[in-house]
Structure 1
Amino acid sequence: MTTITLGGTGIQIEKNGFGCLPIQRISQKEAAYLLRKAVDGGMNYFDTARSYSDSEEKIGYAFQGIRDKVILATKSHAKTGQELKEHLETSLRNLRTDYIDIYQFHNPAFCPKPGGEDGLYDAALEAKAQGKIGHISITNHRLAVAHEAIDSGLYATLQFPYSYLAGPQEQELVDKCQKVGMGFIAMKGMAGGLIRSGPAAAAWMALQPTVVPIWGVQHKWELDQFLSAVRETPAMTEEYQQIIDHDRKELAGDFCRGCGYCMPCPAGIEINQCARMSLMLRRAPEASWLSDQWQAEMKKIENCLHCNQCKSKCPYGLDTPRLLAENYQDYKTYLAR
């Protein structure tokens, strides 16, 4: 096991964390099995959010009687201080606990600060004084907000997309966090499904000493590959490096990460999947992406309004309408084979 201290919090955690977004897609019994298996295998950091439907409730059910063995992190997408207080009380109730270790503002469009008209940071400070949360943190997909959060000195941790496909801009965030003693939590360690080798991803993350990846887990086989990285720190083998080099070459340039912050689309297009369909066809079993359902979803691209709302909201600055058009043309070629 590799135990690290989460930034300046003093919290000791196993370096590999459990991302709890996917467990909203499975039953309570299945989720509890995976969560308890993770704890038994050495994981102790679990990250969820108020907006992940029933994820918090499943965690609360699974961890009855072992709250002292886990570190819980959740998030609020509240827009006001009063709404944050309501989210927090719901999260405490769902998680069946009286405190949350890491409480995060969930991808705000700005950096909340004390005295702000929104009241978010002040509400979090009040909750911290009451012992309901241990540390105030933030998640984001916007580089400008992430830099402001680091520079502010107000946050215990930053959660941001980071994988072996990351570029110098993301690496700069990691380095800045390390310099100021701020924890860095890596979401999308598998690049939203574009990375197919969990062992290669885990081996690369093992080389990032201050980064805590939260691996999204829905299936036992997914958990098993990351628990193997808990049992023994994975070495960067020649095989893993070849996988990484191949992926970096294939995925160089602009590509949709599937984060979904461009949604909703006024034309009903599922942009966060359709704008990267070409990659998914080539990097995942293609049959499921060629189903009648996905053919219908891709056909919606014909109804694009060219309003550019998606382009303006993309945290990576992508020309989303262009990506949609290119992916649709490629998809029709695939169907015609």
Structure 2
Amino acid sequence: MEYISFGKTGLMVSRTAFGALPIQRIASVEEAATLLRTAWDGGVNFFDTARAYSDSEEKLGFALDEIRKDVIVATKTGARTGADLFKDLETSLRNLQTDWIDVYQLHNPSFIPLPGGEDGLYDALAKAREEGKIRFFGVTNHSRQLALQAAESGLYDSIQFPLSYLSAPEDVELAALCEEKQVGFLAMKALAGGLLTNARSAFAWMRKQENAVPLWGIQKTSELEEFLALEREPPVLDDELSAMIEKDRAELAGNFCRGCGYCLPCPANIPINNANRMRELLRRSPPAQWLTPEWRELMSRIEDCTKCGLCAKRCPYGLKPYETLPAHLADYRSFLPE
């Protein structure tokens, strides 16, 4: 396992970090704990979760309790006031069975809090650090402008932002700026929300971003074993993998849906985060999982779209799903057996 210095925090973090959003879909706490402890045994020491990930924090707390001092735990709060932040923090500490959180992050805020702000968020973070309840704090965001603002402010220890080889050059420059400013950089959606299906090419490209710590979303032992194997024998970004990357860029780069889910909830109960990239999912992953009776019913809800525009207002990438969903539905139906 390769470890790097995380910004100016002094933390040495594993280059393969565990994104713990998917473990909320693991049925039992014990099964999740086995996966998490296997990751630790393989050298992973950074685990990222959030209050918004249902029972992910509880599963982490159960799994890592005995090795708490040896691991780095990051979580997030969606609070919009200092008072609510402290409430979230106490809940996270209880769920994680710990007295401190190593990296506490503001979860996709619509602005970058500053000291003395009326919202009280930054001052609450600073107070929590003084009290020893958090060691470092940062910001997660899907807005490049806000992430840049946070990085340039010098006020935050870490930035979490989407980064993959489909990213725009400006996003790669953001990672470089974080290195220059000594801000830890956590790369979410390193597989572009599941659209990239070759872990070797994604791993090799990400390793070239010297300060980036990718948060690989892991739910299955097979997924974990694949990334641990890549750590043991890191792939070289050779002509073959470079050609694969260029092919993916040609097919997918641009204004594609990342599946982040910030467009939700939809008044018509359309699962926009997957429905608006169904064309790509059908061709880049086993299609059978999307052709079930359940998904047929979910996709049929697109016909109930009223074009209210709420999804477009919420999308951090400026997409207009209500305009593209009908095409995804038509394409989806072409895959269904007659």
- The answer to whether residue 163 in structure 2 is matched with residue 158 in structure 1 is no
Report if the CA contact (8 A) 2:263-2:272 is conserved.
Answer: yes
- The answer to whether residue 23 in structure 2 is matched with residue 23 in structure 1 is yes
Residue type of the alignment partner of 1:58:
K
Report if the CA contact (8 A) 2:65-2:98 is conserved.
Answer: no
Please give the alpha-carbon distance, in whole angstroms, between the structure 1 residues aligned to 2:75 and 2:253: 32
Q: String of CA shifts for 1:59-103, please: whole Å, max 9, x gaps.
A: 111112211210010000111111110111111111111111100
Please give the alpha-carbon distance, in whole angstroms, between the structure 1 residues aligned to 2:327 and 2:320: 11
Q: Give the match for residue 270 of structure 2.
A: 269
Instruction: For structure 2, list consecutive stretches of 5 or more residues without a partner in the other structure.
Output: none
Q: Give the match for residue 243 of structure 2.
A: 242
Please give the alpha-carbon distance, in whole angstroms, between the structure 2 residues aligned to 1:255 and 1:92: 36
**Of 234-243 and 82-91, the range deviating more from structure 2:** 234-243
Q: Give the match for residue 118 of structure 2.
A: 117
Q: Give the match for residue 2 of structure 2.
A: 2
Residue type of the alignment partner of 1:9:
T
Residue type of the alignment partner of 1:53:
S
Q: Give the match for residue 44 of structure 1.
A: 45
Q: String of CA shifts for 1:277-325, please: whole Å, max 9, x gaps.
A: 1111111111121111111111111111111111121111112212212
**Of 227-236 and 290-299, the range deviating more from structure 2:** 227-236
Matches within 5 A, 1:52-63: 52-63=53-64
| 1:63 aligned counterpart, secondary structure | helix
Report if the CA contact (8 A) 1:81-1:122 is conserved.
Answer: yes
Deviating above 6 A after TM superposition, structure 1's stretches of 4 or more consecutive aligned residues are: none
Residue type of the alignment partner of 1:217:
I
Q: Using the TM superposition, give the Cα deviation of residue 151 of structure 1 relative to its aligned residue in structure 2, in angstroms.
A: 1.7
Report if the CA contact (8 A) 2:167-2:253 is conserved.
Answer: no
Q: String of CA shifts for 1:26-81, please: whole Å, max 9, x gaps.
A: 12111111111111111101000011111111111111221121001000011111
Report if the CA contact (8 A) 1:42-1:230 is conserved.
Answer: no
Residue correspondences, number = 337
Q: Using the TM superposition, give the Cα deviation of residue 336 of structure 1 relative to its aligned residue in structure 2, in angstroms.
A: 6.0
Please give the alpha-carbon distance, in whole angstroms, between the structure 2 residues aligned to 1:314 and 1:51: 18
Residue type of the alignment partner of 2:310:
Q
Q: String of CA shifts for 1:8-27, please: whole Å, max 9, x gaps.
A: 11111111100000011112
Please give the alpha-carbon distance, in whole angstroms, between the structure 1 residues aligned to 2:264 and 2:308: 13
| 1:158 aligned counterpart, secondary structure | strand
Q: Give the match for residue 315 of structure 1.
A: 316
Matches within 5 A, 1:1-337: 1-26=1-26, 27-335=28-336
Residue type of the alignment partner of 2:244:
I
Please give the alpha-carbon distance, in whole angstroms, between the structure 2 residues aligned to 1:157 and 1:89: 21
Report if the CA contact (8 A) 2:23-2:56 is conserved.
Answer: yes
Please give the alpha-carbon distance, in whole angstroms, between the structure 2 residues aligned to 1:328 and 1:253: 21
Report if the CA contact (8 A) 1:47-1:72 is conserved.
Answer: yes
Residue type of the alignment partner of 1:38:
A
Residue type of the alignment partner of 1:2:
E
Please give the alpha-carbon distance, in whole angstroms, between the structure 2 residues aligned to 1:245 and 1:105: 34
| 2:185 aligned counterpart, secondary structure | strand
Please give the alpha-carbon distance, in whole angstroms, between the structure 2 residues aligned to 1:158 and 1:287: 37
Q: Using the TM superposition, give the Cα deviation of residue 252 of structure 1 relative to its aligned residue in structure 2, in angstroms.
A: 2.7
**Of 251-260 and 327-336, the range deviating more from structure 2:** 327-336
Normalising by the residue count of structure 1, what TM-score does the alignment of the two structures yield?
0.97
Normalising by the residue count of structure 2, what TM-score does the alignment of the two structures yield?
0.97
| 1:104 aligned counterpart, secondary structure | strand
| 2:265 aligned counterpart, secondary structure | coil
Report if the CA contact (8 A) 1:41-1:230 is conserved.
Answer: no
Residue type of the alignment partner of 2:158:
T
Report if the CA contact (8 A) 1:46-1:73 is conserved.
Answer: yes
| 1:64 aligned counterpart, secondary structure | helix
Please give the alpha-carbon distance, in whole angstroms, between the structure 1 residues aligned to 2:258 and 2:31: 28
Please give the alpha-carbon distance, in whole angstroms, between the structure 2 residues aligned to 1:95 and 1:266: 34
Please give the alpha-carbon distance, in whole angstroms, between the structure 1 residues aligned to 2:63 and 2:259: 29
Instruction: For structure 1, list consecutive stretches of 5 or more residues without a partner in the other structure.
Output: none
Q: Using the TM superposition, give the Cα deviation of residue 122 of structure 1 relative to its aligned residue in structure 2, in angstroms.
A: 0.9
Report if the CA contact (8 A) 1:42-1:231 is conserved.
Answer: no
Q: CA RMSD in A?
A: 1.3
Report if the CA contact (8 A) 1:142-1:315 is conserved.
Answer: yes
Please give the alpha-carbon distance, in whole angstroms, between the structure 1 residues aligned to 2:182 and 2:253: 31
